Amino acid sequence: MKVAPSLLSCNFAVMGEEVARVDRAGADLIHLDVMDGHFVPNITIGPDIVAAVRPFSRLPFEVHLMISDPLRYIDAFAKAGADIITFHIEADSDIDATIEQIRRCHVRPGLVVKPGTPVESVFPYLDSLYMVLIMTVEPGFGGQSFMTDMMPKITLLKEECRRRGLDVLVEVDGGVSEKTIGQAAAAGADICVSGTCVFKANDMAAAIRLLQQSDQ
């Protein structure tokens, strides 16, 4: 299990230092949530912030776009230092065009599905994807409770990828902690996004190791 700490739970006053801290603690990726106040009822960061914290770690930056028109901002986030850009299948932008633009910027593309969206909606695009992110909370705010009933989506997605011989990574995001990670691992998740569990831990490195070892 790879662990991608979500900066949504970090201390924004020292965000660069927080990036460096999770890097030293053994994280596998850095997860950056981008919200526009329209697609979801919250506003977070933009490309300038991603660029500002990029020098604090060499870990892959995964930028999760919770915005209505992701296609419009792909170039900006790619230039800011994103290694992976995920966007919602429920967004307004043309999906194929957005995936193609991400690839054109030499960034790895991923699709995200909200809890109410059938996972089958991403199947037509799997050949073009690096990752699929299954939301295990309603997107918009950190600290929500893990939705156990999202686990069949992971299993179904992994089965479809195996059937087609695809090596698409499956990520879960929302309410992931030492108490819920076992369910995600058992369902077949490859990566977990964890905010509160990592940033509020007394021992960040121990918290990350615990999550990483959940599938052993």
Domain ranges in the chain?
2-215
What is the model's pLDDT at position 111? Answer: 98
Exactly one of 83, 173, 190, 215 is catalytic; name it.
Answer: 173
Exactly one of 33, 83, 167, 215 is catalytic; name it.
Answer: 33
The token pair that represents 194 in the structure block: 């964890």
- State the virtual CA torsion across 164, 168, 169, 170 in degrees, nearest 10: -50
Q: 10-residue block means of pLDDT along the chain (216 residues)?
A: 96 98 98 95 95 98 98 98 98 98 98 96 98 89 78 96 97 90 94 94 96 82
Q: Is 28 a catalytic residue?
A: no
What is the model's pLDDT at position 142? Answer: 63
Q: Is 83 a catalytic residue?
A: no
What is the model's pLDDT at position 139? Answer: 78
- The DSSP letter of residue 13 is G
pLDDT tens digit sequence for 56-65: 999 999 999 9
Nearest to 139 by CA among 69, 4, 37: 37
What is the model's pLDDT at position 175? Answer: 86
Cα distances (Å, whole numbers) of residue 179 to 9, 17, 104, 130, 156: 18, 28, 39, 28, 23
**What distance in Å separates the CA atoms of residue 210 and residue 100, rounded to the nearest whole number?**
36
* Contact (CB, 8 A) for 91 and 71: no
pLDDT tens digit sequence for 88-125: 999 999 999 999 999 999 999 999 999 999 999 999 99
Name the CATH topology of 2-215.
TIM Barrel (3.20.20)
